[in-house]
Structure 1
Amino acid sequence: MTGPRDTAFNSFLKNFAEDVGKFFKGANVLASIRDEDVNVGATPKTLVMRRDKVELFRYEPTAERTVETPVLIVYGLIGRYTIADLQPDRSLVRSLLSEGIDLWLIDWGRPGRSERWLTMDDYVDDYIHEAVCRICRETGHDKVTLLGICEGGVFTTCYAALHPEKVKNLVLTITPIDFHADIADPVANHGLLNIWTRSLAPKDIDQMVDVLGAIPGEFISSIFSLLTPMRSLTEYNVDLIKIVDDKDKLMQFLHMVKWLADRPDHPGEAGRQLLKELYQENRLVEGRFELSGRIVDLRAIDAPVLNIFSLGDHIIPSTCSKALGGKIGSIDYTEIPLLGGHVGLFVSGRSRGKLTKSIAEWLQERDK
């Protein structure tokens, strides 16, 4: 007679055997994949301009043009733009190109010790401004549309306020504007990054930047991992084992891992501004943030604005993004909340499809 204990043991042996079989099959799948197969940011593009380590690219068109105004993608310095072009079937870039959009990109490169003194002033009033002017010369337009992502959205918001004459439209995705709005967020795990950053002693921020000249990429990665500790503990064992014998899912996993591992150092002085003046002192939304000797007045933004945020974003809570609505001068303001998380907005098939459609339709309506 078989008892409950025997049944449980037999079930354990069966599951163990299945996992072992899956592991060996997965090992063969993994052995067949080469580094060049996991290629992020691979959508064809042409280098148009290089200024220091910063490069301006123009993507090759894949469909008949439906939006004439050029669109410049600006990602932040915390991470790489390649999250928007992760792999062919999970690429916001390819999706927008298929909608007939003239797409451009700023690649910040990999800042090192020589960039330690660069400030947000340099990124907004020098690099972005030069890129915008070059795009205008190349295309014959006098304005461009800016598409800012995360910290890049902060840069483009500041640029639109300081140079409204050069901005046709402003599209923001997962962009923090009010860095203290998370205090009133009802979801407990939203805004942990903001809480941690506000808890830092200003002198400790100064010491890190003064000694290292940067906010190390490895340090930034560790902070993001600590925001979701259980997921960080299980993704390379439990989660990986579940999909290791499925090549398509494994490739998705490897593309994401490659993007996560490619986190450059954040230039020191720009990082000091970000942590102290924005995260801690909340100067942007309060009208006290200064770049190149000028106050960034959000009321000076007179271009149409599309503000897209993720309702499940634990890094940039939606409340931090929504704060822009009542602060700008433009009467053409649209908010689109989407389901998903901070990264899922760009790599999830469902979220990315809605994101692309929302951006394309909004731009087409304003390109007449």
Structure 2
Amino acid sequence: MTQSPPTFAVQPPPTKPHRQLDQWVQSRLSEAAMGLSPISLALAQADWLWHLAAAPGRQLELAQKALELSAQALRNSSAHEPAHDADPRFAEPEWQQWPFKAWRETFRVLDDWWREAAQVEGMNRHHQHLLGFFARQGVDALAPSNWPLSNPVVLKSGLQSGGQTWIKGSQQFLQDAAAMRRAQPSTPAEDLEPLPYPVGEKVAVTPGQVIYRNRLIEVIQYRPSTPEVHPEPLLIVPSCIMKYYILDLSPENSLVRYLVAQGFTVCIISWHNPDASDRALGMQDYLRLGVMEALAAVQRSTAAERVHTLGYCLGGTFLAIVAAALGRRQADRILPTGQQRRRADALYDQLPALASVTLLAAQTDFSEPGELGVFIDDDQLQTLRTSMARTGYLSGKQMAGSFQFLNSRDLIWSRNTRRYLLGQDEIGNDMMSWNADVTRLPERMHSEYLSSLFLNNALAAGHYRVEGRGVALVDIQAPLFVVGTVRDHISPWRSVYKIHLLTDTPITFVLAAGGHNAGIVSEPGRPRRSYQIATTVPADGWIEPDAWAAQAPLLEGSWWEAYRDWLQARSGPKQAPPVIPAELQVCEAPGLYVKERYAD
């Protein structure tokens, strides 16, 4: 049985004329500030200037620091040192030659001095974070490796190739610029550049069946590849800011395929890629229509009384909220009265018990969100609301640009150097193709998410509400498997680790090598992979994250294997796999929603 996804026409509320004027002015200012709030940036700069002006001692200290660093740069420029530099931007031996070595050392002095100068006592903590971040961004933009005349590797390759690398780099720049001009928001999906790894052909190819669809999600149940499976299915809740197939890339590095091969019935949510008609979808819809209805669909299809669950990134945050709400219901049956109670009862009664909860790079305490916090304050949120009010959604390009900005050295400057100055072709892979398959977020949901969780940290404080009732993570009753990654710019592992402070259930914590994506997609056999793992119970008390990292054993290989063992220890004996009822078979995997693409 094949269904077309339902469509809904939601008109934005009328805007008063004076508010339209405000939005127009704020939009122009935001465009001039590359999508950021100029007010927020100006306040941070003013905070720094005023505190620095009132601290003559700090000014003298910075002046002395500048002299010391300059003297150090002169010494380093003439000193002999190993040919290989630890900074990959300056790793080639050509950087040991004059004047390039002097330029490199001057840049390092500037970088070190600005890192020190951005720290002034008395500043607002967020302003200090904001100023330090943008100071580093500005200095990174000035690196001599980014410019053709100050990069000896660029000059050498151009001369040796008779200028061919420069010509090729220029052609690639013009091609990319033309592609950006062609990709207008109104460009139909069929006219977009095809993905290097087509969905359903090279990625997202694990066989399965869509067993449920509503306006927000499709639920895919994968076919078993073993004669017997554990009785508890596993529902995966990926982040809605990414296509689900980050966990089902090519067959050799698909977490979905790996778990299916280990004897688990695996199901996954595929989120609808929203448009303007979805602007009114909020956080409660993502919890109810998303996670809860997916759990109910898995229960209907498998008849399982208990379900393992796994959430990745924002999907993990959603899952933690739902797990807390289900744990609260088990402990206390009191729900709102009247019609709301009847609706809640009707859905809750269809939900299975949670056998376990796994959170991959998912924050539940947002008091220290890392570099992502740079983009989130009241002024930045107002700028985002103004932008989303025009479209009804946050575009995928805006999100992708923010994530690139967090690691601009590697994702912007180093890439530009390789592609435009050295004329090198990009070596594509399935993850890069997935990264280009951007998704949107509805206006209301994104605003509520940032306001309630990032700005007010409502979940950690016990103020977040589901179905009108406050929830707290301490109500989660299922055992937890939590993964953080060492180089995560989006969900810093120490922030992820704070779930130890918020729950009262055994936690197996894993600290994996890699970043937010590569540390999770870490299949067995991949070289240079390692992880630390340890289990704590409430009676152990609080162990600080750095103390945990100092004592947890370090293991070589993939954490997937440890996760398989952990799941199997909490699962029943294997039995014949469940058969999907004919009336639940909507269409073949990967379904329709994962193929929804927009130019923005």
Band the TM-score falls in, shorter-chain normalisation: 0.7 to 0.9
Partner of 2:311: 148
Shift of 1:196: 2.1
* In structure 1, distance between residues paired with 2:401 and 2:205: 27
On the 8 A contact 2:231/2:571 being kept in 1, the answer is yes
On the 8 A contact 2:396/2:440 being kept in 1, the answer is yes
Partner of 1:336: 510
Alignment of 1:314 with 2:477, yes or no, is no
CA change 1:72–1:194 in 2 (3 A) is same
| Percent identity of equivalent pairs | 26
On the 8 A contact 1:118/1:267 being kept in 2, the answer is yes
Shift of 1:207: 2.4
Q: Secondary structure at the match of 2:236?
A: strand
Partner of 1:173: 360
Q: Secondary structure at the match of 2:265?
A: strand
On the 8 A contact 2:195/2:433 being kept in 1, the answer is no
CA change 1:12–1:122 in 2 (3 A) is closer
2:388 is matched with which residue: 209, 224, 240?
Answer: 209
On the 8 A contact 2:197/2:203 being kept in 1, the answer is no
CA change 1:16–1:130 in 2 (3 A) is same
2:161 is matched with which residue: 4, 11, 16?
Answer: 16
Query: Counterparts in 2 of 1:182-193, with a 5 A limit?
Result: 182=369, 191-193=370-372
* In structure 2, distance between residues paired with 1:18 and 1:203: 48
Alignment of 1:345 with 2:519, yes or no, is yes
On the 8 A contact 1:180/1:194 being kept in 2, the answer is no
* In structure 2, distance between residues paired with 1:15 and 1:256: 33
2:250 is matched with which residue: 87, 95, 99?
Answer: 87
Give the number of the structure whose alpha-carbon radius of gyration is greater.
Answer: 2
2:399 is matched with which residue: 210, 216, 220?
Answer: 220
Shift of 1:35: 5.4
Which segment drifts farther, 334-343 or 355-364? 355-364
CA change 1:313–1:171 in 2 (3 A) is same
2:561 is matched with which residue: 342, 351, 357?
Answer: 357
* In structure 2, distance between residues paired with 1:313 and 1:81: 19
Shift of 1:149: 0.2
Partner of 2:502: 327
* In structure 2, distance between residues paired with 1:19 and 1:61: 52
* TM-score (normalizing by structure 2): 0.52
Shift of 1:109: 2.1
* In structure 1, distance between residues paired with 2:423 and 2:260: 34
Shift of 1:115: 1.6
Which segment drifts farther, 166-175 or 343-352? 343-352
On the 8 A contact 1:83/1:346 being kept in 2, the answer is no
Partner of 1:49: 212
Q: Secondary structure at the match of 1:344?
A: coil
Shift of 1:251: 4.5
Partner of 2:39: none
* Unpaired runs of at least 5, structure 1: 28-33, 183-190
1:163 is matched with which residue: 311, 322, 326?
Answer: 326
Query: Counterparts in 2 of 1:205-354, with a 5 A limit?
Result: 205-231=384-410, 232-235=412-415, 238=418, 244=425, 250-252=427-429, 255-330=430-505, 332-348=506-522, 349-350=526-527, 351=529, 354=558
What one-letter code is carried by the residue in structure 2 that aligns with 1:138? S
* In structure 2, distance between residues paired with 1:11 and 1:202: 46
Partner of 1:195: 374
Partner of 1:30: none
On the 8 A contact 1:120/1:291 being kept in 2, the answer is no
Q: Secondary structure at the match of 1:181?
A: coil
* In structure 2, distance between residues paired with 1:338 and 1:242: 34
Residues 223-245 of structure 1 show CA distances to partners (whole Å, capped at 9, x for unaligned) of: 1111111212333661797985x
Residues 296-336 of structure 1 show CA distances to partners (whole Å, capped at 9, x for unaligned) of: 21111000111111021111101221111121132x22111
Q: Secondary structure at the match of 1:125?
A: helix
* In structure 2, distance between residues paired with 1:242 and 1:144: 51
Shift of 1:70: 0.5
* In structure 2, distance between residues paired with 1:215 and 1:325: 32
* In structure 1, distance between residues paired with 2:322 and 2:563: 20
Q: Secondary structure at the match of 1:57?
A: strand
Partner of 2:225: 62
* In structure 1, distance between residues paired with 2:491 and 2:163: 40
What one-letter code is carried by the residue in structure 1 that aligns with 2:274? P
CA change 1:338–1:17 in 2 (3 A) is farther
Q: CA RMSD in A?
A: 3.0
Shift of 1:64: 4.5
Residues 169-220 of structure 1 show CA distances to partners (whole Å, capped at 9, x for unaligned) of: 10010001111234xxxxxxxx111232236444334323333221111111
Q: Secondary structure at the match of 1:132?
A: helix
Partner of 1:188: none
Partner of 1:124: 287
* In structure 2, distance between residues paired with 1:18 and 1:363: 57
Shift of 1:113: 1.6
CA change 1:97–1:115 in 2 (3 A) is same
* Unpaired runs of at least 5, structure 2: 1-96, 99-151, 173-193, 331-352, 531-556, 573-600
On the 8 A contact 1:209/1:272 being kept in 2, the answer is no
* In structure 2, distance between residues paired with 1:227 and 1:81: 22
Which structure is higher in strand share? 1
Q: Secondary structure at the match of 2:242?
A: coil
Shift of 1:106: 0.6
* In structure 2, distance between residues paired with 1:312 and 1:36: 27
What one-letter code is carried by the residue in structure 2 that aligns with 1:207? T
Partner of 2:52: none
* TM-score (normalizing by structure 1): 0.82
Shift of 1:126: 2.8
On the 8 A contact 1:47/1:58 being kept in 2, the answer is yes
Q: Secondary structure at the match of 2:231?
A: strand
Q: Secondary structure at the match of 2:249?
A: strand
What one-letter code is carried by the residue in structure 2 that aligns with 1:318? W
CA change 1:80–1:200 in 2 (3 A) is farther
CA change 1:219–1:102 in 2 (3 A) is same
Q: Secondary structure at the match of 2:498?
A: helix
Which segment drifts farther, 320-329 or 59-68? 59-68
Shift of 1:157: 0.3
* In structure 1, distance between residues paired with 2:379 and 2:566: 40
CA change 1:131–1:68 in 2 (3 A) is same
